[in-house]
A and B are shown apart, each in its own frame.
Chain A
Amino acid sequence: MPVIVNLDVMLARRKVRSKALAEAIGITESNLSLLKSGKVKGVRFSTLAAICRYLECEPGDILAYEISDDDLRLDDSE
């Protein structure tokens, strides 16, 4: 189960358009759209920090996780 991205919820709460957020934090709208849909491989901390600063929220407001044993790595050294 991948990490759940609730960015669209926060955008709605803050009444901020995707375009405005993308321009403010310096990523393209297409990348922001991919992020909202959870289709990205990862998010930089700097991007996350910028989003949280702009929307005045916490990372936990944007990202959620449902426990799933499928996410356990086979590499036990971690």
Chain B
Amino acid sequence: MVYYHNKFSSNRKKTLSDSYILPPRKAFICRMAGVVFLLVATIWGGATVSQSIMPGWSLACSDSGACHPDVDPGALLPDAERASVSSDPAARARFAAYAARPRVRAGLAGLILFDEVFLIFLFVAVGLTLRRLGGAGGPVLARALPWLKRGALSAVLWAIVQPLTDSLRAMLLFPGTPSGASWYIALDLTVAGPAMLLAIAAYATAWALEAGIRAERDLATFV
């Protein structure tokens, strides 16, 4: 009876581990992209806070390149109401006085913060996802996927909240307009609609990847 001493190399684990380490260049690009998203989140957060302190704040730039800050609460109105306010100096003055009331400003600030917090969190989540994907060693994909799911969920919530905050903002400001208080339902999904669909797709992708990782881990327990 002869025993072979050569190793039967086919038994080496050939399955991918869950340490999906990108090539160095791709990992670097991934991490830098993550930094960009985190920076955008920081800047967006600052802009949101500014907007909540001064509702209707914007930076108006002329053709000459000169930019100056402008505060116009009327910009927060729907198009038709904005036109009716801006066309009449008296209406504009009444509206400005109404929008300056503490309760109105507090309501606008709350709505702005509520509207943008999900978008800011989305940027943070995508940034952290990319940072983890570009990380070195360990279960890289398993660490990144939870943040991808959180970002996708945040995008879905943002898409749902958009029409709600638009409607509430308009109804909050309508009493200061010539037409007076009235109900308003905003159903503009031109941006939020595709965003929600993409977010759902991202969430489903994260599910599929997690299922793949679980299956791979189960397979890895096979000797």
| Complex: A22 Cα to B5 Cα, angstroms | 11
| Contact (Cβ within 8 A) A53 B4 | yes
Say if the beta carbon of B68 comes within 8 Å of chain A: no
| Complex: A20 Cα to B1 Cα, angstroms | 15
Residues of B within 8 A of A74 (CB): none
Query: Given A16-B3, A24-B3, A41-B218, do A54 and B8 touch, yes or no (CB 8 Å)?
Result: yes
| Complex: A35 Cα to B8 Cα, angstroms | 17
Interface of B is mostly: loop
| Complex: A25 Cα to B11 Cα, angstroms | 7
| Contact (Cβ within 8 A) A35 B3 | no
Report the minimal beta-carbon distance from B208 to chain A, rounded to whole angstroms: 22
Report the minimal beta-carbon distance from B115 to chain A, rounded to whole angstroms: 47
Report the minimal beta-carbon distance from B12 to chain A, rounded to whole angstroms: 6
Contact with B along A60-73 (1 / 0, CB 8 A): 00000000000000
| Complex: A27 Cα to B14 Cα, angstroms | 12
Contact with B along A30-44 (1 / 0, CB 8 A): 011011000011111
Query: Given A16-B3, A24-B3, A56-B1, do A50 and B8 touch, yes or no (CB 8 Å)?
Result: yes
Contact with A along B9-25 (1 / 0, CB 8 A): 11110000000000000
| Complex: A41 Cα to B10 Cα, angstroms | 19
| Contact (Cβ within 8 A) A25 B222 | no
| Complex: A34 Cα to B221 Cα, angstroms | 10
Residues of B within 8 A of A34 (CB): 223
| Contact (Cβ within 8 A) B8 A26 | yes
Report the minimal beta-carbon distance from B221 to chain A, rounded to whole angstroms: 5
Say if the beta carbon of B101 comes within 8 Å of chain A: no
Residues of B within 8 A of A16 (CB): 3
B residues apposed to A, CB below 8 Å: 1, 3-12, 218, 221-223
Excluding A14-B1, A35-B223, A53-B8, 11 further A-B contacts by CB distance (< 8 Å) are A23-B7, A24-B3, A24-B4, A25-B11, A27-B223, A42-B223, A43-B223, A44-B11, A44-B222, A53-B4, A56-B1
- 19 example contacts (A-B, Cβ-Cβ < 8 A) are as follows A24-B3, A24-B5, A24-B6, A24-B8, A25-B7, A26-B10, A26-B11, A27-B223, A32-B223, A41-B221, A42-B222, A42-B223, A43-B223, A44-B11, A46-B8, A49-B8, A49-B10, A50-B11, A56-B1
